[in-house]
Amino acid sequence: MKTRFTTKQTTMTKITAAISAVGKYIPEYALTNKELETMVDTNDEWITSRTGIKERRILKGEGLGTSYMAIKAAEDLLQKSNTNPEEIDMVIVATATPDMPVASTAAYTASKIGAVNAFSYDLQAACSSFLYGMSTAARYIESGRYKKVLLIGADKMSSIIDYTDRATCIIFGDGAGAVLFEPNNDGLGLQDEYLRSDGIGREFLKIDAGGSILPPSEETIKNKQHFVHQEGRTVFKFAVSNMADVSEKMLTRNNLTKEDIQWLVPHQANKRIIEATANRVGLEDDKVMMNIHKYGNTTSATLPLLLADYEKELKKGDNLIFAAFGGGFTWGAIYLKWAYNS
């Protein structure tokens, strides 16, 4: 007697990582160009024409660090999306300004928002931190092992800026934004990425002291070596070419035209860099997210703050191209399909 075995073929649906909610926090205090005119040798016209920045937010208050803003942005997301923090599997805080060395800002943030079942860590890639964090969060979701990954971009840049240095103090501000990544079975979410780095950038955008090469000392403090130093022209040149290159690459290798793209989501470092990136891929101004005039460069927070500010204009299925460039050098682009209607 022969026994016939019937095999039932099951088609597995690919899991993609989609953004399902966003949140933000911006400090109340606005440092305007007019106020900066009283602090350094500059003026509103010069700042606006070269950077596009009109004001930037500064976190005031004793004992308030990056975690304060990260917690506020996370709480905004949880409240808006009615998400139970105990369901969150993982918290990543993308930041260049952690609360303190060694102790994880992400771990503290997770505990304070009630994400008691999450594991957490910080991710640092300068202004590309959030972009790299998107890639990291997506991999955890795509593995099928984790269902809710909270990614926060937060920086208190005012803590590392010399407000007598007009080359840097006009650019940076404080802020935080958060996104929740969840599994998607409809092909929405993160589609492709191209992330790069080059250690040649180490000399052009950095903080000299406070690390293992040059620990803090009376001399490093006196020499102002704990503040950001930037060689503006060199950084500008690298940022313009690399952000534009990777954005164009995203379109080319995914067979996308400018008509297929609803939004460019570029790091908010300089309006001229943003415009150069948009021009390379042929996008009109109304397809380019921009809030640099309000917040300046908030480093790890620029991309999620853009999503929070433009959330109501985003539609399910919209094609978004994210692009960033940061110290190190670090840079890259991500292609993502938006997953919900606000």
User: Distance between CA atoms of 52 and 295, rounded to whole angstroms?
Assistant: 10
Select which of 184, 242, 270, 297 is catalytic.
297
CA distances from 134 to 7, 81, 129, 340 (A): 39, 19, 9, 17
Q: Considering the entire predicted model, what is its pTM?
A: 0.95
Beta-ladder partners of 120: 91
What mean pLDDT value characterizes the chain?
Answer: 95
> In the structure, what pLDDT confidence band is assigned to residue 10 with cuts at 50, 70 and 90?
very low
Q: What is the pLDDT of residue 12?
A: 62
- DSSP letter string over 246-272? HHHHHHHHTT--GGG-SEEEE--S-HH
Report pLDDT for 277: 95
The 10s digit of each residue's pLDDT in 23-48 is: 999 999 999 999 999 999 999 999 99
Q: Which residue has better confidence, 296 or 2?
A: 296
Question: pLDDT for 147-183, tens place per residue?
Answer: 999 999 999 999 999 999 999 999 999 999 999 999 9
pLDDT band at 5 (very low <50, low <70, confident <90, very high): very low
Return all residues near 280 (Cβ < 8 A) that are at least 6 apart.
244, 245, 247, 248
Residue 293 bears catalytic tag: no
Identity of the residue numbered 93: V
Q: In the sheet where 119-123 sits, what is the strand order?
A: 16-25, 174-184, 149-156, 90-94, 119-123
pLDDT in tens, 254-266: 999 999 999 999 9
Q: How far apart are CA 302 and CA 118, in angstroms?
A: 25
Euclidean distance between CA atoms 299 and 281, whole angstroms: 23
Tens digits of residue pLDDT in 201-239 = 999 999 999 999 999 999 999 999 999 999 989 999 999
pLDDT of 320 above 70:
yes
* Tokens matching residue 55: 């004001």
Give residue 13's pLDDT band: very low, low, confident or very high (50, 70, 90): confident
Is 70 exceeded by the pLDDT of residue 1?
A: no
Q: How far apart are CA 204 and CA 329, in angstroms?
A: 9
Looking at the chain, which runs of residues are DSSP E strands? 16-25, 29-32, 55-58, 90-94, 119-123, 149-156, 174-184, 189-197, 205-206, 229-230, 263-266, 319-326, 330-337
Q: Of 33, 127, 184, 270, which one is the catalytic site residue?
A: 127
Whether 87 contacts 100, CB under 8 Å: no
pLDDT value at residue 6: 46
Q: What is the pLDDT of residues 93-145, one digit of tens each?
A: 999 999 999 999 999 999 999 999 999 999 999 999 999 999 999 999 999 99
Does residue 119 have a cis peptide bond before it, meaning omega lies within 30 degrees of 0?
A: no
Q: Is the pLDDT of residue 242 over 50?
A: yes
**Active-site pick, 33, 169, 267, 270:** 267
For residues 284 and 252, what is the distance between their CA atoms, to the nearest angstrom?
Answer: 18
Mark whether 82 is an active-site residue.
no
